Amino acid sequence: MTAPLQTSSYGIETTTQAGYGETVARVRDALKEEGFGVLTEIDVQGTLKEKLGKDVRPYVILGACNPPLAARALELEPDIGLLLPCNVIVAERDDGTHVGAVDPQSLVDVTQNPRLAEVADEAGRRLRRALERVAKGGSS
């Protein structure tokens, strides 16, 4: 069973019973369907093992970018690049595979630039749809 989307002050998240590798692939596909490309990938598990000798569960941070939305945001707030790309995490947990995405509206709050609200709303809708696809068991 998959949990419905939850929100926090800075994120949108869900948990699925699908395996970690399958979920990472579904997240990538769902992001692509919403116009996001993955610009960066940080293997947190591998990095902590290599740098600290610490064993942790599988955890990846995907830096997702929707170029048209990023361009609009940069026009409105040139330093928004400090807060981009939109991070999406996939992490193995006791209750399943956790998926979370930054809530772009929280970036508007950080910048205190209300002109970004429309772009953040669009990015948020797209990220929510992507996570809903993953939660329902697929990318489409």
> In this predicted model, what pLDDT tens digit does every residue of 108-119 receive, in sequence order?
899 999 999 999
What pLDDT sits at residue 43? Answer: 98
Beta-sheet pairing, 37-43 with 6-7: unpaired
**Token digits of residue 97:** 């595979």
Which CATH number fits the domain that encloses residue 35?
3.30.310.70
| Distance of alpha carbon 35 from alpha carbon 21, whole angstroms | 22
3-state secondary structure of 120: helix
In a domain, 119, yes or no: yes
In a domain, 24, yes or no: yes
Look at residues 69, 70, 129, 134 and name the one whose alpha carbon lies nearest to residue 99: 134
What pLDDT sits at residue 140? Answer: 44
In a domain, 140, yes or no: no
3-state secondary structure of 99: strand
In a domain, 1, yes or no: no
What pLDDT sits at residue 65? Answer: 97
| Distance of alpha carbon 97 from alpha carbon 18, whole angstroms | 7
What pLDDT sits at residue 137? Answer: 84
In a domain, 49, yes or no: yes
What pLDDT sits at residue 139? Answer: 54
Q: Domain total for the chain?
A: 1
Q: Provide the residue range defining the domain that includes 111.
A: 6-135
In a domain, 23, yes or no: yes
CB–CB of 84/104 below 8 Å?
no
Residue type, 19: G
In a domain, 109, yes or no: yes
**Token digits of residue 37:** 């490309």
What pLDDT sits at residue 4? Answer: 83
Residues of the chain with pLDDT under 70: 1-3, 138-140
pLDDT one-digit tens code per residue, 51-72: 999 999 999 999 999 999 999 9
In a domain, 92, yes or no: yes
Question: What's the burial of 11, exposed, middle or buried (CB within 10 Å: 0-12/13-18/19+)?
Answer: middle
